[in-house]
Amino acid sequence: MEKNYAPGGADAQQERQNRSDRLSPRSSASMARPNRQQERRNEILDAAIAVIERHDLASLKLTDVAAELGLTTNALRYYFKDMTDLLSELAMRSDVRFYDERLQIGNRTETPAARLALTIAAGLPSGPEDAEWRAIWRAVLAAGFELDQRRDVQAIYHRQVGLYTDLLTAGSDTGAFQLNSPARDIAMTLMAMEDYLGYRIVARDPGLDRATALHLMREYARLATGATLPDTR
């Protein structure tokens, strides 16, 4: 039986009804304009994150997201044909946090070591309930062993490798870092650590938490760059 994750209570029911009224597809004559369609897609993505925050990703279905919004599954398919489609867009939206926002760290950070430390800290999940982080991993898992067919999911990793590569290269150029390997090799190792350690955090591994992951990544960065990174949380 499919799980229904819709919240209870009169207020929640009214909110679902309001969202249902906004999201229900109309006839082609009154179809939403592109900007309204994007607003509605964003509401669906927000609902998906809310469900992810509360429940097991492995059992997440389009039906669950529809129930969160008080809609039928077919109404959701007007915007997303299936969970793979929804999760792909959710992952790309989350990429703003893990690429675009981290890219801005350099604008407010004076030293390469501080920038690297903050970039590492911003890439790891805040804890087991970090829904955006979990959403990205759900999209990766949905891609299975065919990343060559899923360029959208590929790009999440490789864009962030590029971010680390540029950061390391800039630090090396100023003499702040003494790299013991090519910058891209170090960047790929940092991203591999970030991905796997982050996965174990959101998978609720009792033997690995954010503090441990930060320590491991910072120690590797110190060995790879010859620089001591400032403390971060």
Domain boundaries, the chain: 10-81, 90-225
Confidence of residue 29 (pLDDT cuts 50, 70, 90): very low
The class level of CATH for 10-81 reads mainly alpha
pLDDT surpasses 50 at 184: yes
Confidence of residue 138 (pLDDT cuts 50, 70, 90): confident
Q: How far apart are CA 68 and CA 20, in angstroms?
A: 10
pLDDT value at residue 4:
39
Q: How far apart are CA 25 and CA 27, in angstroms?
A: 7
Find the mean pLDDT for residues 139-167: 80
pLDDT surpasses 70 at 11: no
pLDDT value at residue 76:
92
Helix axes 112-123, 151-173, angle to 10 degrees: 160
pLDDT value at residue 6:
41
CATH domain 90-225 topology: Tetracycline Repressor; domain 2 (1.10.357)
On whether the CB atoms of residues 201 and 213 are closer than 8 A, the answer is: yes
Does 90-225 match 10-81 at the fold level? no
Q: Under DSSP, is residue 85 helix (H, G, I), strand (E, B) or coil? A: helix
Tens digits of per-residue pLDDT, 89-98?
877 777 788 8
Q: Tell me the H-state helices in the chain.
A: 10-23, 34-54, 62-69, 73-77, 83-95, 101-103, 112-123, 131-143, 151-173, 183-202, 210-225
pLDDT surpasses 70 at 16: no
Mean pLDDT of the chain: 82
Q: What one-letter code names the amino acid at 195?
A: D
Top-confidence residue, 46 or 142 = 46
